[in-house]
Amino acid sequence: MVQVKINETKKIEQLRISRNGIDYVADFIDGRLQGASREGDYTPISQDDYDWWHSVLKVHQHIDDVCQAMIGELPDDVRDSVNKDICDMVGNNDLDLFNLPKKFDEWASSLLGEHGYTMTIYPDSSIGFDTIEIK
């Protein structure tokens, strides 16, 4: 978890992204906030920057959650190909960030369908992430 202090409001917020219960936001952000001055335990950040990081992390958390659910269901011989396809699709480019989850979900559903599975995503903003069901 990275704690930030919004410059405009002085509100303290947290940025998070996790896999298997382990938060890796500091690794994900990869020092991009380290150049900022620190105020105790907080990194000052503008509202716009916070909103952008929050959106980026939410999108990547969704993709990671779908990947983890998928990989657990796919046959072993398909997993390496899936991992490569995922890396190619997500890359490091956020230019199409807000369309990426929809495109990714369509790709994931199609791939699972090829192997006889269906994927249903239940958006649940009350708990902050989606529930993914693969049958």
> Is pTM beyond 0.75 here?
no
Q: Residues 6 or more apart from 62 whose CB is under 8 A from it?
A: 101, 129, 130
Cα distance between residue 47 and residue 10, in whole Å:
10
Domain spans of the chain, in order of start: 2-134
Residue 126 has pLDDT above 60, yes or no: no
- pLDDT tens digits, 38-51: 667 788 889 998 98
Least confident among 7-11, 102-106, 114-118: 102-106
CA distances from 65 to 17, 68, 85 (A): 10, 5, 16
